[in-house]
């Protein structure tokens, strides 16, 4: 009887140690799968918004395409529409993507190049 109770107590200690190791492993996994990518995305967004300049084409979180015409510390004024008469002030956080004018010119240049479609 005494021997049986001492082995049960020692196996209970090993069980709690393995439970602690499992919890630490799960927390580390959660950090690398969730928290770290979020921090990387926040840094990328912050860098994108700090590099924002007048004349950049932007896409807002709501899906509107426009051109930045003025920038303040936290806000931007974006011009929407073909006739350029719709100017809306909005927070920088409402911008989802930024496309520099040079990038847009490179993409249109690439699209307009004739391709050789002759078959031999």
Name the residue ranges covered by the structural domains of the chain.
1-50, 53-112
Place of tokens 């520099």: 100
Place of tokens 């004349």: 55
Structure confidence by residue, pLDDT tens digits, 5-47: 445 455 556 788 999 999 999 999 988 899 889 999 999 999 9
What CATH number should be reported for the domain whose range is 53-112? 2.30.30
pTM to 2 decimal places: 0.59
* Residue 83 confidence (pLDDT): 81
């Amino acid at each position: 009887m005494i021997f049986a109770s001492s082995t049960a107590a020692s196996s209970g200690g090993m069980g709690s140690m393995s439970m602690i190791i499992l919890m630490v492993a799960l927390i580390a996994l959660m950090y690398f799968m969730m928290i770290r990518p979020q921090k990387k995305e926040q840094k990328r967004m912050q860098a994108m918004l700090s590099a924002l300049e007048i004349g950049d084409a932007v896409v807002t979180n709501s899906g509107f395409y426009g051109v930045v015409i003025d920038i303040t510390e936290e806000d931007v004024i974006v011009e929407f529409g073909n006739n350029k008469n719709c100017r809306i002030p909005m927070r920088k956080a409402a911008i989802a993507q930024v496309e520099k004018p040079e990038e847009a010119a490179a993409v249109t240049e690439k699209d307009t190049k004739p391709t050789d479609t002759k078959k031999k």
